[in-house]
């Protein structure tokens, strides 16, 4: 910065030199001098200056030591100052902090011109179209499973599709301020359609006539579909019909008839428009009835959430229109599967319900300090929730409303022509979310039950010891499946044990009991009691479905829309790219700043689908079925070994039934001793396991896992071959040594 005095001189000098330079340039041009003559003149002057100064310059190869010494010696002129005591003891300077009352909100300038808003709207449409294409391709792959393609799970597809809609709505909400001053997204869509009609020479009166006749040009229809224009018109029209209760029961055929057996590309324009109107009309009326009559519906997609918003505000939000357009896209791809898949859905939920009922009946007479009356009520309420859903709560409340109405007969006539589960057949997304919700409920119930009773992880220690000692050729398919899903470290602290002493030590670590505690009780002839547990407690199964945990509030607890951030995107991508399905340490694939700018919604959605597919086996596994099989095995072992246990620990030794899983510790500790017959109880347990294998019950939970996942209610071909080979792996008529003989060989 120049001092003020010099600055004023410089300004006058600059002004004068500029004026002289301008005069010289114009004069030189008039006299015909080249434009770059001034440049050559100054270059010549610089060359002359260089020649004059050259004798006074240092030689190039002059030594550097003098220069270094000169630079070093200059530091001798510096004076060292020491800080004063006052300075050292002074208080720290308080850093400025954000004001508590700073309510400033920083937003992007939305712009003022209509052309800017129109440009932004076209950019938004491009993103929404990309999302819709991704969804259509996702469901197309699902349908192509009929022709040898990969079968996808409807629950996974529903979550990915609904998340795609959430992405689109987030983009639309970010741009909402730009469109509001010009009438909103609907007005922008209408402008684009009007401009197209004008360019095609079609006025609005002619367009309305063509629309009524179903003779709209394909180009016009395609643009209106891209803008969600027709869907918006249909929903805006339906929204004007006031809700009156009973009279809002619309029989099948009110809006037209669907032809699910004709592929959408083969439909005429008139037929396509009619079927779009049928799907939107029935979907809207069912959703309105559900929102008013069944407010506690346990799950919802973005269409249903938008209808709830309409109920409160009486304004049709863009979320309803965009979600409806995506549902139409799905219908155009899957055709008749939209209705036929509901039967598969109901079979699966019914199977889960039967599993819950069977478990409640199986465990009803067994008391445990780890399973309270509150837990029993929770499980019973969960099962009753399955009954409630399978009874079609929407149709049931319609019947109740008709029974209470003054025009009951008219309502009954309408109900007679209302198809059951109609809203699920019109919304494949909601149907898939129903499967995901109930499967998540079963997953939560299964882990909670088996961890409370120790019915899976503790018998796994007994099965492992039998296998390691070679007492049987049988391998427990269900247990091996869980080892694969959760990893050995979830069942055995430090990994699978391979020696008799390690069997006991790993078991003690798993249940939270020290080896010294067991040794003390064994010498006194006592069994393990509650006070023998350490404060750390037992180590039981914990879910490894990390993506499910992050989506649980949204799709199992029916919370608000997911708040997608770059951190959650990073988690999804890391999980989706993981090759080991969550076992062990995963490579850190967190997004860098550059990655975040390159990630598109389609990338995130594809990774979400991959990650959820990797977790599907854990969510669909039938833990309650394996709980029952393990408990039956422990009961048989208890009855066979009770007399032996009494001989070892005294005649007063007794087990309550809830303590059966902890009996494994006594069997393993006895097998650790080195005397003839110490392996007897382990051999008996092996023999009982072989008998269960002959009954083909050791693969029941794995069978149900395949039935409750994938596209169809059946076991896939590859899995069926695996189970068949497992069931044929043991030949009961072989001449090999039996379990008792094998135990004797081990002793020798």
Long-range Cβ pairs for the range 645-652 (8 Å, 24+): 645/681, 649/522, 649/525, 649/526, 649/527, 650/525
* Segments forming the whole domain that contains residue 529: 454-542+620-747
> What is the C-alpha to C-alpha distance for residues 314 and 333, in angstroms, rounded to an integer?
32
591 in Cβ contact with 599 (< 8 Å)? yes
Same domain for 339 and 461, yes or no, is: no
Give the SS3 label for residue 39: helix
Beta bridge partners of 368: 371
Give the SS3 label for residue 40: helix
For position 742, what pLDDT does the model report? 42
Q: What single DSSP character describes residue 696?
A: T
Burial 598-616 (b: 16+ CB within 10 A, else e): eeebbbbbbbbbbbbbbbb
Give 744: exposed, middle or buried? Use CB within 10 Å, 0-12, 13-18, 19+.
middle
Which residues, given as ranges, of the chain have pLDDT below 70? 1-44, 46, 53-76, 96, 98-111, 145-151, 245-248, 514-537, 562-573, 575-599, 729-748
683 in Cβ contact with 739 (< 8 Å)? yes
Residues in Cβ contact with 339 at an 8 Å cutoff, skipping those fewer than 6 apart: 260, 425
Residues in Cβ contact with 480 at an 8 Å cutoff, skipping those fewer than 6 apart: none
> What is the C-alpha to C-alpha distance for residues 373 and 251, in angstroms, rounded to an integer?
45
Residue 575 CA to its chain's centroid (Å) = 10
| Among 683, 668, 699, residue whose Cα is nearest residue 747 | 683
693 in Cβ contact with 730 (< 8 Å)? yes
For position 13, what pLDDT does the model report? 59
Angle (nearest 5°) at CA 368 between 362 and 373: 80
> What is the C-alpha to C-alpha distance for residues 379 and 385, in angstroms, rounded to an integer?
10
Q: The tokens of 432 are what?
A: 């898939």
Supply the pTM of this predicted model. Answer: 0.79
Residue-wise pLDDT for 620-655, tens only, equals 999 999 999 999 999 999 999 999 999 998 989 999
CA separation, residue 286 to residues 278, 307, 426 (Å)? 12, 10, 9
CA separation, residue 518 to residues 215, 694, 720 (Å)? 84, 35, 44
Residue-averaged pLDDT of the chain:
82
Same domain for 163 and 311, yes or no, is: yes
For position 744, what pLDDT does the model report? 45
- Number of structural domains (the chain) is 2
Same domain for 339 and 458, yes or no, is: no
572 in Cβ contact with 646 (< 8 Å)? no
288 in Cβ contact with 309 (< 8 Å)? no
Of 343, 369, 396, the one marking the end of a domain is 343
Same domain for 332 and 465, yes or no, is: no
Of 328, 343, 358, the one marking the end of a domain is 343
For position 523, what pLDDT does the model report? 47
Same domain for 257 and 127, yes or no, is: yes
Q: Is 426 within a domain?
A: no
Q: Is 290 within a domain?
A: yes
Of 309, 343, 377, the one marking the end of a domain is 343
Give the SS3 label for residue 429: helix
Query: What is the Cα Rg of the chain in Å?
Result: 38
> What is the C-alpha to C-alpha distance for residues 12 and 20, in angstroms, rounded to an integer?
12
For position 674, what pLDDT does the model report? 78
Q: Is 629 within a domain?
A: yes
| Among 171, 163, 181, 183, residue whose Cα is nearest residue 122 | 171
Q: Is 294 within a domain?
A: yes
For position 227, what pLDDT does the model report? 93
| Among 127, 149, 176, residue whose Cα is nearest residue 603 | 127
| Among 304, 299, 303, 338, residue whose Cα is nearest residue 321 | 303
> What is the C-alpha to C-alpha distance for residues 418 and 401, in angstroms, rounded to an integer?
14
> What is the C-alpha to C-alpha distance for residues 380 and 377, in angstroms, rounded to an integer?
5
> What is the C-alpha to C-alpha distance for residues 414 and 251, in angstroms, rounded to an integer?
5
For position 586, what pLDDT does the model report? 42
Long-range Cβ pairs for the range 20-23 (8 Å, 24+): none
Q: The tokens of 570 are what?
A: 């990073």
For position 20, what pLDDT does the model report? 66
Same domain for 459 and 330, yes or no, is: no
Q: Is 338 within a domain?
A: yes
Q: The tokens of 318 are what?
A: 């863009």
> What is the C-alpha to C-alpha distance for residues 265 and 140, in angstroms, rounded to an integer?
14
Q: Is 155 within a domain?
A: yes
For position 21, what pLDDT does the model report? 65
| Among 738, 171, 179, 95, residue whose Cα is nearest residue 471 | 738
Q: Is 253 within a domain?
A: yes
620: part of which helix (H) or strand (E)?
Answer: helix 616-620
Handedness of CA 325, 270, 248, 416 (dihedral sign): negative
Q: Is 194 within a domain?
A: yes
Q: The tokens of 588 are what?
A: 């850190």
Q: The tokens of 81 are what?
A: 């100052």
> What is the C-alpha to C-alpha distance for residues 699 and 183, in angstroms, rounded to an integer?
61
562 in Cβ contact with 551 (< 8 Å)? yes
DSSP track, 111-155: -S-HHHHHHHHHHHHHHHHHHHHHHHHHHHHHHGGGGT-----HH
Same domain for 665 and 534, yes or no, is: yes
For position 592, what pLDDT does the model report? 53
């Amino acid at each position: 910065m120049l001092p003020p005095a010099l600055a004023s001189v410089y300004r006058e000098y600059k002004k004068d030199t500029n004026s002289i330079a301008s005069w010289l340039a114009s004069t030189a041009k008039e006299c015909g001098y080249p434009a770059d003559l001034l440049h050559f003149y100054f270059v010549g002057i610089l060359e002359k200056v260089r020649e004059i100064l050259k004798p006074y310059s240092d030689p190039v190869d002059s030594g550097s030591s003098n220069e270094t010494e000169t630079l070093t010696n200059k530091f001798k002129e510096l004076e060292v100052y020491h800080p004063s005591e006052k300075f050292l003891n002074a208080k720290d300077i308080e850093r400025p902090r954000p004001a508590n009352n700073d309510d400033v909100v920083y937003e992007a300038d939305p712009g003022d011109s209509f052309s800017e808003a129109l440009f932004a709207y076209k950019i938004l449409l491009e993103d929404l179209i990309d999302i819709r294409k991704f969804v259509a391709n996702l469901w197309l792959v699902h349908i192509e499973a009929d022709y040898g393609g990969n079968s996808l799970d409807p629950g996974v597809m529903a979550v990915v599709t609904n998340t795609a809609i959430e992405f689109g709505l987030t983009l639309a909400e970010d741009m909402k301020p730009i469109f509001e001053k010009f009438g909103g997204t609907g007005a922008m869509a209408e402008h684009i359609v009007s401009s197209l009609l004008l360019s095609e020479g079609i006025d609005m009166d002619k367009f309305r006539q063509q629309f009524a006749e179903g003779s709209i040009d394909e180009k016009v229809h395609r643009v209106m579909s891209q803008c969600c224009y027709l869907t918006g018109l249909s929903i805006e029209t339906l929204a004007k019909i006031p809700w009156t209760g009973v009279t809002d029961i619309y029989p099948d055929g009110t809006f037209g008839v669907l032809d699910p057996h004709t592929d959408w590309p083969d439909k005429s324009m008139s037929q396509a428009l009619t079927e779009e109107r049928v799907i939107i009309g029935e979907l809207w009326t069912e959703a309105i009835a559900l929102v008013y009559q069944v407010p506690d519906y346990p799950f919802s997609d973005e269409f249903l959430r938008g209808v709830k918003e309409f109920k409160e505000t009486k304004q049709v939000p863009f979320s309803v229109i965009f979600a409806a357009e995506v549902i139409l896209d799905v219908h155009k791809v899957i055709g008749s599967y939209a209705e036929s898949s509901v039967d598969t859905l109901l079979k699966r939920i019914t199977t889960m319900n039967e599993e819950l009922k069977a478990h409640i009946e199986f465990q009803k007479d067994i008391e445990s300090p780890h399973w309270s009356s509150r837990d029993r009520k929770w499980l019973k309420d969960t099962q009753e929730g399955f009954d409630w859903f399978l009874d079609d709560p929407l149709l049931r409340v319609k019947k109740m409303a008709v029974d209470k109405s003054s025009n009951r007969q008219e309502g009954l006539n309408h109900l007679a022509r209302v198809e059951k589960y109609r809203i699920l057949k019109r919304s494949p997304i909601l149907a898939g979310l129903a499967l995901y919700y109930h499967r998540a409920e079963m997953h939560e119930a299964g882990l909670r039950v088996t961890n409370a009773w120790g019915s899976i992880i503790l018998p796994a220690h007994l099965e492992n010891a039998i296998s390691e000692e070679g007492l049987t050729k049988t391998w427990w398919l269900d247990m091996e499946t869980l080892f694969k899903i959760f990893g050995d470290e979830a069942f055995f602290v430090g990994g699978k044990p391979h020696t008799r002493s390690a069997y006991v030590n790993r078991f003690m670590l798993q249940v939270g009991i020290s080896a010294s505690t067991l040794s003390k009780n064994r010498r006194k002839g006592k069994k393990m009691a509650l006070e023998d547990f350490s404060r750390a407690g037992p180590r039981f199964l914990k879910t490894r479905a990390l993506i499910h945990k992050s989506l649980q509030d949204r799709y199992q607890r029916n919370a608000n829309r997911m708040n997608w951030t770059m951190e959650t995107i990073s988690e999804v991508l890391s999980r989706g790219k993981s090759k080991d399905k969550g076992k062990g340490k995963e490579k850190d694939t967190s997004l860098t700043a550059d990655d975040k700018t390159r990630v598109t919604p389609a990338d995130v959605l594809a990774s979400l689908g991959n990650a959820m597919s990797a977790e599907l086996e854990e969510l669909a596994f039938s833990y309650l079925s394996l709980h029952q099989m393990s408990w039956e095995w422990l009961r048989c072992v208890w009855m066979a070994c009770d007399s032996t246990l009494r001989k070892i620990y005294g005649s007063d030794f007794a087990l309550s039934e809830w303590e059966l899983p902890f009996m494994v510790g006594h069997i393993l500790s006895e097998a650790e001793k080195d005397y003839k017959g110490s392996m007897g109880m382990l051999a008996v347990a092996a023999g009982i396991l072989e008998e269960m294998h002959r009954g083909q019950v050791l693969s029941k939970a794995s069978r149900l896992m395949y039935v409750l996942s994938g596209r169809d209610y059946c076991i896939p071909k590859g899995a069926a071959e695996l189970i068949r080979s497992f069931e044929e792996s043991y030949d009961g008529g072989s001449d090999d040594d039996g379990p008792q003989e094998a135990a004797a060989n081990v002793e020798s």
